[in-house]
Amino acid sequence: SAVISQKPSRDICQRGTSLTIQCQVDSQVTMMFWYRQQPGQSLTLIATANQGSEATYESGFVIDKFPISRPNLTFSTLTVSNMSPEDSSIYLCSVAPGYFGPGTRLTVL
């Protein structure tokens, strides 16, 4: 199994600012995934992050809005840029086969 931690656990941000979310895994993994869970909704995959290459984004998500870093096999960051209230969600990182971090609850005012 994998233990995943995320920082921060929650934050309240002002419109137009950016927030970087960190994800740390207790073992080396090839692929890490970032998901968004809007209030009361299911999970939507934002992107897949592989170490040493650019992230692969899903339809509706772009690198300028959600830049991702993957500097090594245990760590990744997701930045939510130029935030608006519509970005208020829980952001989760994940590794196969089905391990999730506790999530970062973001509220944008």
- In what helix (H) or strand (E) does residue 100 lie, and over which residues does it extend? strand 99-100
d(CA 21, CA 30): 19
> Between 36 and 75, how does the x/- string for binding to another protein read (CB under 8 A)?
-----xxxxx--x----------x----------------
CB of 45 to another protein, least distance (A): 7
Is 98 a binding residue for another protein by CB under 8 A? The answer is yes
Comparing CB distances to another protein, the nearer of 18 and 38 is 38
Q: Does 102 bind another protein (CB under 8 A)?
A: yes
Contact 5, 100 (CB under 8 A): no
How many residues touch another protein (CB under 8 A)?
A: 22
Give burial (CB, 10 Å; 0-12/13-18/19+) of 17.
Answer: exposed
